[in-house]
Each structure stands twice: as C-alpha cells, then as structure tokens.
Structure 1
C-alpha cells in the first residue's frame, strides 16, 4: 500500500499489492474434488453442502471441483451462490457490522451506498455500469432473505409465506432492472425498501446494507466493503501490530479453530501452541461449530486481560492453556541467519510486506554482511503480499537500474513506472524461494528477479495475483477496497490467474514449515537452493 495520500471528495486513498484473504479449509468429512467420478457427482456433493448451510466448505469444494471440471455452469453457479451466502453469514458474525451498520437509518445507509457506487465507477480497474452494481445488490438481498443468520437478526418469526412472496416480487419487479446513474440506483433501492417494509416489516438499514456490500459481488475477489472492524484489522496488519494472542486461524468445522500460524514471541507461542493445533473452546464456550468471525470475537479483548483456551493436538489428548492478551508486533522477517558460514550463504524468511519491512530488510542485510554473507536465499514462500511501496523499495536494494514494476489502471494516478537506483545496491547472489501461496507483492519481486536475470527462482508456480488494491476511506469508519490497477513485470508480463513459474521446479515442498524456523534437512526447497548456489555456472547481473 502506497502511504502517499491522494485525496478526493470522499476519502483518503492508499495503494497495496496485497492479496490473499483467509484460506478456506475443507473438513475431513467433505469429499475432495479429485475423488469425484463425474460432474453430476460434484454437483450433488456441492448441493448437499449448500443444503447443510456449510457455506465455507461449499465455497472451497466448488473451487476444487472447478479445477477438475472447468467451465461447468452448474458448478460455477454453485460457487457463486455459496460465496454470496458465505459473505452474508460473515457479515452477520461481525460485531462492528451489527452494532454500527445494520441499525442505520435509510438516509445514512444511502449516503454510504453513494460512496460505494461513486468510488467503483471512478476507480475500479474495469468500467462497471450502475445497472450491474444494483442488480448484484438485489441478488444479495434475495439470497439474504433465505439466509438463517439474516432472518434471525432481522425477521425472527416472520411468515415463510410472506418471505417467499417478497422474494418472488423482488425477482419479478427488480431483477436486472435497468437504472440510470447514482440517482436511478437510489430510486430503485428506495422502492425496494418500501416493498420490504410493507411486505414483512423489514427496516431500511439491513436492506441497504445488502446493496452496499452486494455491489462488490460483480467485481473481482479482492474488492469489497470493509466494516469498521475489518478496516481496523487491515490497518493493524499493515502496521504489523495488534492486541491479541498472536495466532492466524481458520474454522475447521467440527474440529474448532485450526491454527495455521503461531507468531514467534507471542502469548500463544509462550503458552506452547503450535501450527496445526485446534482451539476447541474459548473461556468455556465450545467453538468447534463456530465461524472464524464468531471465534475471533471471543478471543478479542483488552491488553492485559486473560483468555482460557481448550486445545486439541494431533496424537495427544485435549489440554488447557491460559494466555494474556497484549500488543503483538508482527515481524515481516521472523528469522534471518547464516545457514552455511563457510560458504557465506545467508537466509532471510519474509512473510509479508508491511510498513516495517524495508527497515527490517536493511537491518538483516547489514547484520548478515558483517557475518560474511556472499550469497542470499530469500524465502517468499507463503508470503501473500502487502504494501506495493515496500516491495519496490526492497527490490531497489538488489537492482542497479531499469524498471522494477509498472502499474496500469483507469485512473491517471494508477499508471506508474517504478525504476531502480544504483546507490546502495547489494551485488549479493540470490536464490528466491516461492510457492503456490506467494502472491501479489511477492510476485512483483519474483517478476523483477526473473526479468533482470538477477537470480535463480526455486519452488513452485506462484499464486497469480497481479493486481493492486486501493483503500478508500468511507463514511462511518468503513472503507472500500478496490482493485484499481494491474501490475506488470519489467519486461511487460503479467501473470494474473496464471502465476510465475520458477526457474527450478521442486514438486513438493516441506510437509510442515513453522514460522521463524529453518530446517534445511527436511526442506526440499532449501536443499535445492543450496545446490544452486554451489553450482559454478550460477550467474547474476
């Protein structure tokens, strides 16, 4: 994210090349797409998950199935339905949405809707007409009227007959109805509010919010409206600090909260938690069937407060730990070290691109240089990206001249070319490690290393997110995250939805890889990187 402020009449704008949201994981009971015999079996399994309201599992299942059976309309429609329903369920598990956005008056909610429409039409990377934005809001409301979480919060005990009639009226009167500009959008949404109030007594706030959030359903996967809580989380990630226990988790239905990362030197690490553990209860409340957002709400609290966790670990019985919440500083470089002092081979593990990344990289390079660094293994595996400027500034440490990256979008300030500067350049030999989860800003680095022939890239094909998001501050402490540009490597390549292939492919990475740890013996990627550096034909420019 570019922390240079660009001001328009709505907002401060920040740029980022960040991309991966929470990974969705299948529970053990879900059939993997690779096991399916045909398309009909895939559709049947997906439909079963939808009937069970297992939206998270359905989304992940349909994505896997579409890899096996691409361009299958029934699977694509199932994915679309499940994604929208999952979004609704997540909103209604977000305390800041429930407290500040859902209860809004019609006028206040409409003002926020104006912000969304205007910013999308002015800044989104591709032109989007108002009719499409409104139509996706209508579809989101139609789906919400069949979503148990929405109904429980807004229409508890409502007549099913009236709800079905309302959904039928929405479809017949407003489905894909042509609208002209923001004024036309406001008029249609106002008519929908009147219909819903007259039919089932539904207040305007929840209705307009489906149009506010649903508008982004016609954009790419990286564009959305952020509630006050989600906005705060995002900026905490950018700054690399938050109050909590220091874990990255995702709901694993029936098992609890699966820990995908435990941050070094965090309360969770000090309590002995490990990657792969499952939190099954928080302060005595069973969370095995909760969503990620619901469990996150239980884990949130003031610095200095304590939280009791029940944890299950593979091959061991359940155990209990207590953690004291405190400010956790997230390092983008959790470890750097010499891994072969005799050969001068250094290693840097970088897990993100945030505000502190450049300073961390400078410190690491200077420390390693004092220890005799002659070659560097730069590890960007599982690095989802982050700030565009951080990636550019870090790359400038290794390139003497030429283009680092360029961006292209509809708005004039999105068309930029960033170039390298010779002063301060490190001429160290580089092996770059990437994998299928290296995305966005990580791919900027990989693209520049590749095109400048600055080093050898080892691992697996990157994620394929070659786009830039900008964050627009909006009313009521919300924000709008939009894809505003695509980025291109120095030679003009963009590998969106494809990913950049490494120079040396390692089919399988390490089985387990802990944040902040280096295990050469059990890491095939690292072993290959060392082999490349031992090769006398290794070249750099």
Structure 2
C-alpha cells in the first residue's frame, strides 16, 4: 500500500543520513566517588519541582526543554533521564495526533499493514543503524511509549478510551509476563512480541491493533537515541522542501529522488567524506 511505504520512509529518514556514531549521556552513571555537591543537589531538586509543575499543567514541550538541559548538566540522574523520555513521548504524540496525514494513516491502515510497516522498519534498523542493537530494549521502548499514550489526553480522546483500573492492570500483567518470559535477540522476535502486545491491548483496552502498533513503532524509533524521530508524511514533505539542494551538517549536498535522499555532492575532508560517502549514494 502506498501510504504504508511512505510511512515507513517517514519513520526511517533520520536513520538514512546518520554516518557517524553519536554518543548520548542521558541516564549515564557517574563514578560512585563523584557525587553531587549540596548546591548541585539543591538545583536538581528545584528542576524536579519545576518539572512536576509543568507536567501537571500538561506543558510537555516546556518540560522536555527543562529535562533536556538538566540531562546535559546532570547525566548521572536517572530520574531526570526518565522524565525526559516521558516528556518526549508526550510531545511526539501531540505532534503526530495534530497531523492530518498521520490520522489518515491510522484510519486507512489495518492490523496486517501496520505489522508489515513495523517489520520493514525493524529490518532497516538492523541493516543501517550505526550502533549495536539491544532488541529487548527496543521492544521495551515501544511498550513504554504505548504506556505513555494510555495516559495522554489527546491519544485517549481520539480513540475514545475509558479504561478501567482492572482492565489496565490485566494488560500490564500480561505484558510484564511477555517481557519476563521472552528474550528478544532479533528484529523478528521483537515483531512477534509486538504483535502479541497489540492483540492483548485490543482485547483488554479496546484500542485497535494498528493504533497500538504505531505507538510501538514510535517508541522503537525515539528509543534508539536522542536524534532519531518519527516523521509523518506532512513533516517529511516539509523536511524535504528545506534540505533539497542544500548542504547539511554532515558535509553533503542532498537532493530528493522519488522517495529517497540522493547524495548530490560530498564536501572534501568533511564528516561524510571521512565516512566514505560518495556522490550518487
């Protein structure tokens, strides 16, 4: 289906232009003997208090900016890293659910098509992603994204969700059993577990499998690193219009060719040239 293949490309556009390893410090632990000073701890407490207020008011963009700055200054703080990821997930949901092209894809896509898109995305990640893959973590990132969606007013409102505590706990118990009993060592294993999760969610929470699969997909993408993201068709078009025929920070000039990015020219001695990219790639 045409919209499915375009959605796949939208999801993978960030992956297609990564040529160097990017190191992120979110959640990184400092050595045990480098604890925060009293002043630093006071600042961390103030950040968490401010973040809690922003979250309570559903100002997720401001919360994301706050936690992003804090994570750079205090990479050892796992709590800040966790709040950063939750805020990022809420912002991602808002970005997608305010986009008509994404809502159209949900309406048109059935469970089989959503599984096919997920399968293709996992295959592309396995082939092109620049770092070693932890498939169990990839599955968990998708499940965490869907958990955030279940508490997001925009997601709940669009799908008309009124989930009881009993149903939610049944879903969580079933998913916890999957995570505990299945160890994913490949993209194929992640796909099978994701399909099972979507079926459980449809049965217990009454949300369509395709909506669940797309949340799992989004979590898979944004869980890779701070720089990978899920682009809707509209956002992809906007990005193409901005970069077509222009130089980007990797040291390459890009042009659009169908549903692909074509390397038009490589700047000598730039990052892309050092990585071996050539015109026509």
The answer, yes or no, to whether TM exceeds 0.5 is yes
**1:58-457 equivalence runs, <5 A:** 58-101=63-106, 103-174=108-179, 177-239=182-244, 355=245, 385=249, 388-389=252-253, 403-407=268-272, 415-416=275-276
Contact 1:140 1:210 in 2 (8 A): yes
In structure 2, distance between residues paired with 1:393 and 1:144: 40
- Secondary structure at the aligned position of 1:404 is classed as coil
Which of the residues 40, 43, 46 maps onto 2:51? Answer: 46
How far residue 217 of structure 1 moved from its aligned partner, in angstroms, is 2.5
Gaps in structure 1 of 5+ consecutive residues? 1-9, 18-33, 240-354, 358-383, 397-402, 409-413, 419-469, 471-541
Contact 1:213 1:225 in 2 (8 A): yes
- Secondary structure at the aligned position of 2:151 is classed as coil
Alpha carbons of structure 1 residues 151 and 211: separation in structure 2 relative to 1, 3 Å: same
Q: Over residues 81-133 of structure 1, what are the superposed CA-to-partner deviations in whole Å (9 max), with x where a residue is unaligned? A: 11122212222112111111355211100110011101111101112133222
How far residue 181 of structure 1 moved from its aligned partner, in angstroms, is 2.4
- Secondary structure at the aligned position of 1:389 is classed as strand
Higher share of residues assigned strand: 1
How far residue 71 of structure 1 moved from its aligned partner, in angstroms, is 2.1
Higher share of residues assigned helix: 2
Alpha carbons of structure 1 residues 67 and 406: separation in structure 2 relative to 1, 3 Å: closer
CA RMSD in angstroms comes to 3.6
- Secondary structure at the aligned position of 2:269 is classed as strand
Alpha carbons of structure 1 residues 146 and 176: separation in structure 2 relative to 1, 3 Å: farther
Alpha carbons of structure 1 residues 162 and 52: separation in structure 2 relative to 1, 3 Å: farther
In structure 1, distance between residues paired with 2:103 and 2:63: 25
Q: Over residues 249-282 of structure 1, what are the superposed CA-to-partner deviations in whole Å (9 max), with x where a residue is unaligned? A: xxxxxxxxxxxxxxxxxxxxxxxxxxxxxxxxxx
Q: Over residues 122-160 of structure 1, what are the superposed CA-to-partner deviations in whole Å (9 max), with x where a residue is unaligned? A: 101112133222221111111111111111111333435
In structure 1, distance between residues paired with 2:181 and 2:275: 33
Q: Which has the higher contact order (CA 8 A, sep 6+)?
A: 2
Show the counterpart of 1:449. none
Alpha carbons of structure 1 residues 217 and 178: separation in structure 2 relative to 1, 3 Å: farther
In structure 2, distance between residues paired with 1:36 and 1:129: 32
In structure 2, distance between residues paired with 1:230 and 1:415: 28
Contact 2:134 2:185 in 1 (8 A): no
In structure 2, distance between residues paired with 1:388 and 1:394: 6
Aligned length: 242
How far residue 394 of structure 1 moved from its aligned partner, in angstroms, is 8.9
Alpha carbons of structure 1 residues 170 and 54: separation in structure 2 relative to 1, 3 Å: farther
Q: TM-score, normalised by structure 1?
A: 0.40
Which of the residues 37, 50, 62 maps onto 1:57? Answer: 62
How far residue 229 of structure 1 moved from its aligned partner, in angstroms, is 1.4
- Secondary structure at the aligned position of 1:222 is classed as coil
- Secondary structure at the aligned position of 1:226 is classed as coil
Q: TM-score, normalised by structure 2?
A: 0.72
Determine which structure has more spread, i.e. the larger CA radius of gyration: 1
Alpha carbons of structure 1 residues 93 and 122: separation in structure 2 relative to 1, 3 Å: same
Alpha carbons of structure 1 residues 160 and 73: separation in structure 2 relative to 1, 3 Å: same
In structure 1, distance between residues paired with 2:113 and 2:264: 41
Contact 1:103 1:205 in 2 (8 A): no
**1:434-513 equivalence runs, <5 A:** none
Contact 1:92 1:149 in 2 (8 A): yes
